[in-house]
Chains A and B, each alone.
Chain A
């Protein structure tokens, strides 16, 4: 079975500080893709960052970076210089190529940035 686990239901961070959100997954597939989505109070789902499992280099998007450990099946998200606009629910997800590009989501981590 394909599963995604986000073990931190809630987190908080001081503005301008760094925070890391954890994500682990389980799959028997060798080729897959990993994503972090952000859901602010507006409810919109926004892609934050993505990583191909066959790439060893960790993805980076401005203040967002990942620590991808394939052997450990771990995919954590680091947010540097946290801003008030980073307050949101964050979902980890991975995609495999079965019929229909199957996506599997974690239960989310609610992040609050404290001014």
Chain B
């Protein structure tokens, strides 16, 4: 069982560069999420999607864009990276219909912006 797969695991960018993080899940989950994790701040929601072709803003959306062209994939893009975007990024997914559906997480991507 692959579960939730994130690529890449590590990335170093220079300020102003762009990149895309890929998240893929094979559990047929309707909902997908992107979080960032910073020391002392827990997990903060960047964007989420409730289904194919839909996206919505979370708590900290500025500087990021997302797309969900296929149900199993959720992409997170940084158009012009800034040092403040240095963080660990997690993708997660869960079912819509199960009322106590926990989040299933990928293994995270450590991004450093210099």
- Give the B-binding residues of A (Cβ under 8 A): 4, 9, 31, 33, 35, 42-45, 47, 50, 52, 91, 93, 95, 97, 99-103, 105-108
Determine whether the beta carbon of A99 is less than 8 Å from that of B56: yes
List residues of chain B with CB within 8 A of the CB of A93: 103
B76 to chain A, nearest CB (A): 16
Determine whether the beta carbon of B105 is less than 8 Å from that of A101: no
Determine whether the beta carbon of B107 is less than 8 Å from that of A101: no
Is B50 close to A, CB under 8 A?
yes
8 CB < 8 A contacts A-B: A35-B103, A43-B107, A44-B107, A45-B105, A100-B31, A100-B50, A100-B56, A102-B45
List residues of chain B with CB within 8 A of the CB of A9: 40
CB nearest to B4 among chain A residues: A45
Is B22 close to A, CB under 8 A?
no
List residues of chain B with CB within 8 A of the CB of A4: 42
List residues of chain A with CB within 8 A of the CB of B44: 105
- In the bound complex, what is the Cα–Cα distance between A100 and B48 (angstroms)? 7
Determine whether the beta carbon of A97 is less than 8 Å from that of B99: yes
Number of interface residues of B (CB under 8 A): 26
- In the bound complex, what is the Cα–Cα distance between A114 and B111 (angstroms)? 31
Determine whether the beta carbon of B94 is less than 8 Å from that of A101: yes
Determine whether the beta carbon of B56 is less than 8 Å from that of A50: no
Within residues 4 to 54 of chain B, which ones have a CB less than 8 A from any CB in chain A? 31, 33, 40-45, 48-50
A39 to chain B, nearest CB (A): 9
Is B70 close to A, CB under 8 A?
no
List residues of chain B with CB within 8 A of the CB of A105: 42-44
Most buried by B among A93, A95, A101: A101
List residues of chain A with CB within 8 A of the CB of B49: 100
Encode contact with A along B70-114: 1 for CB under 8 Å, 0 otherwise: 000000000000000000101010101001111101011010000
Take A33-B99, A35-B102 as given contacts and tell me if A99 and B50 are in contact as well, using a CB distance cutoff of 8 Å. yes
